[in-house]
Amino acid sequence: MSDLTASVKKDSQGSIAVEGYEALNYNFHYTSPVFDIQHAKLADIYKRWQRVLIVIDTIVHPIYKEQIEKYFDHYNIAVTWKVINGGELHKTMDTMLDIVDAMDSFGIVRTEPTLVVGGGLVTDVSGYACASYRRTSNFIRVPTTLIGLIDASVSIKVGLNHKKLKNRLGAYHAPLHTFLDFSFLKTLPVGQVRNGFAELVKIASVGDKAVWDLLVKHGKELVETGFGYRDGSDAVRAPGTEICHRGIETMLELETPNLHELGLDRVIAFGHTWSPTLELTPRIPLRHGHAITIDMAYSITLALSRGLINEAQRDEWFTLVSSVGLSMDHELFDDELIAVATDAIKKTRDGKQRFAIPNGEFGKCIFLNDVSIEELQSVLKIHKEFVKSRYGSGVGKEAYVDAGDLGVEPEAYAKSDKKSVAAGDSCCTGESLKRKGINGNDTKAAAVAAGAVPVDGTGTVTNGVTGTSQD
């Protein structure tokens, strides 16, 4: 929620100057399980309306419907559901307008907050509906994925994809409250947990040494047990909770002074330099977490070659990410891609490289601006030899997007064009992936021709349907 203080002055020539400052207020609550009748905090907000409109996706709805209804029933709050299709192909204006229609038929009162329950996709698209509805309306977020909990819900960015362009339309729109409940990880598939874990590796490597040490110690077990919520015990959950809380708080400290992303030296850009191009280049896109881990792994090799970290630190880093099944290299991550991606990212960083990499120890960050293409390519050679000698191809587990991520079967998406991917499904932008490649993969040239690395004017690298520099 925001509030504006403004003054209006007229000068001697009759021109009018308006000056205003906006106060932002929004809250995060660690409440778990948030839909437990013992925790009245969320219900208390809705008591005055005695009803709630909940936006949720088709996968999360059947899992949590009963629990959520029981919770609100207990407090005599009537639930109205708006269930939307999930997947990146449904992060569209159509879905957003569908949510707007639901708000309209519900007759939402201006200050009444819509409740949004789901991963980053649902909170982004619903948040944008709320940002636009009657110019602005309130919402409350309950993230249910690790990406949602430690990344998407920490920011105030909301939005949707337009044509091939990821997050092309959006807004900065803070929710009233965000309820952070890690027990949702109990039902999150391990591939999604791993995907979110990559963002924790990012924050820890360049922003928080204490989190880094905890990840090294507990990472593998945390990913395998859904942070201790699936099969783990309190002993697993405790470090998981500490990691997530610190990760969220570090993100808030780093990014809150830069809410509108005007500053371009961004610590959290670690792993987000070459990955926007890489993510979409394979026939079936890489999961975001895998693409950024390949980017980070290469950056770690660069940090070693620059003498910014030592071999023991490099080994610790690779041991962690390989143990959790994240990717470290990909055959399409090659000289050509590095060149194309470096050029693309510079355009969004005001002509500078601003490569964020660890500096001296994990948790500290430096921005490099003087890396020649020759150096990048020779480091890539070293990187590939290192990964191959220790880890084989370097491609991790469940590295590619699935139907849940996309909203359609990946094969259908990769093979088909816009008309045939899903008849009647106007959302589909499969054409961007209809690239002719060798060995089942696409060439970088084809990827670029298909719009893989266009750059917009606002400092965001867009990457076709999936992947941007900062989501």
Ligand X SMILES: NC(=O)c1ccc[n+]([C@@H]2O[C@H](COP(=O)([O-])OP(=O)(O)OC[C@H]3O[C@@H](n4cnc5c(N)ncnc54)[C@H](O)[C@@H]3O)[C@@H](O)[C@H]2O)c1
> Which positions touch Zn ion (CB under 5 A)?
471
Nearest approach, Cβ of residue 449 and Zn ion (Å):
25
- Smallest distance, Å, CB 288 to ligand X? 7
Indicate the burial class of 366 (C-beta count within 10 angstroms; 0-12, 13-18, 19 or more): middle
Q: Output the smallest distance, CB 352 to Zn ion, in A.
A: 20
Nearest Cα to 468, choosing from 195, 275, 281, 276? 276
Residue 362's nearest CA partner among 165, 204, 128, 156 is 204
Q: Which range touches ligand X (CB under 6 A), out of 117-125, 200-208, 254-262, 450-458?
A: 117-125
Is 144 near ligand X (CB under 6 A)? yes
**Smaller CB distance to ligand X: residue 137 or 167?**
167
Q: Is the peptide bond before 33 cis (omega within 30 degrees of 0)?
A: yes
CA distance 269 to 434: 29
Decide whether 121 or 236 has the Cβ nearer to Zn ion: 121
| Phi then psi dihedrals of residue 463, to 5 deg | -140, 45
Closest approach of ligand X to the CB of residue 163, in Å: 15
Looking at beta carbons only, is 88 or 329 nearer to ligand X? 88
Cα-based distances in Å from 328 to 291, 295, 371, 464: 9, 8, 21, 23
In angstroms, give the least distance from the CB of 448 to Zn ion.
21
To the nearest 10 degrees (0 to 180), the angle between helices 209-224 and 311-323 is: 30
Of 42, 54, 68, 122, the residue at the interface with ligand X (CB under 6 A) is 122
Which residue lies nearest Zn ion, judged by its C-beta?
Answer: 471
Pairing status of strand 361-368 against strand 177-180: unpaired
* Out of 148, 285, 451, 464, the residue judged to bind ligand X by CB under 6 A: 148
Site for ligand X in 36-65 (CB under 6 A): 57, 59-60, 63
Report the residue number, 122 or 380, with the smaller CB distance to ligand X. Answer: 122
Least separation in angstroms between CB 295 and ligand X: 15
Name which of Zn ion, ligand X, none residue 86 binds, using a CB cut-off of 5 to 8 Å depending on partner kind.
ligand X
Least Cβ distance, residue 198 to Zn ion (angstroms): 8
Rounded Cα gap, residues 279 and 287, in angstroms:
7
In the numeric block, which tokens belong to residue 122? 């649902």
According to DSSP, residue 175 is labeled -
Q: How far apart are CA 160 and CA 154, in angstroms?
A: 17
Closer to Zn ion at the Cβ: 292 or 320?
292
Given ligand X, Zn ion, none, residue 59, with its beta carbon under 5 to 8 Å by kind, binds ligand X
Which one among 82, 90, 141, 157 touches ligand X, defined by CB under 6 A? 157
Comparison of 292 and 304: residue with beta carbon closer to ligand X: 292
Residue 67 vs 80, nearer CB to ligand X? 67
Minimal distance in Å, beta carbon 139 to Zn ion? Answer: 22
C-beta closer to ligand X: residue 88 or 221? 88
Q: Binding string to ligand X for residues 389 to 428, with x set by CB under 6 A, is what?
A: ---------------xx-----------------------
SS3 73: helix
Nearest to 463 by CA among 350, 352, 337, 301: 337
Per residue, the 3-state secondary structure of 263-286, as one string, reads: CCCCHHHCCCCCHHHHHHCCCCCE
Cα angle 84, 37, 196; round to 5:
50
The nearer residue to Zn ion, 124 or 471, going by C-beta atoms, is: 471
Strands in 15-98 per DSSP E: 16-24, 27-30, 51-57, 78-84
Based on CB atoms, which residue is closest to Zn ion, 405 or 431? 405
Task: Give the nearest distance from C-beta 94 to ligand X in angstroms.
Answer: 15
Answer yes or no whether residue 118 interacts with ligand X by CB under 6 A: yes
For residues 358 and 309, is the Cβ–Cβ distance under 8 A? Answer: yes
For the CB of residue 187, give the shortest distance to ligand X in the complex, in Å: 4
Q: Where are the beta strands (DSSP E) in 317-455?
A: 355-359, 361-368
The item of Zn ion, ligand X, none sharing an interface with residue 358, based on CB under 5 to 8 Å by kind, is: none
| Under 8 Å between Cβ of 183 and 33 | yes
Which residues make up the interface to ligand X (CB under 6 A)?
57, 59-60, 63, 86, 88, 91, 118-122, 124, 144-145, 147-148, 151-152, 155, 157, 167, 184, 187-188, 192, 195, 404-405, 471
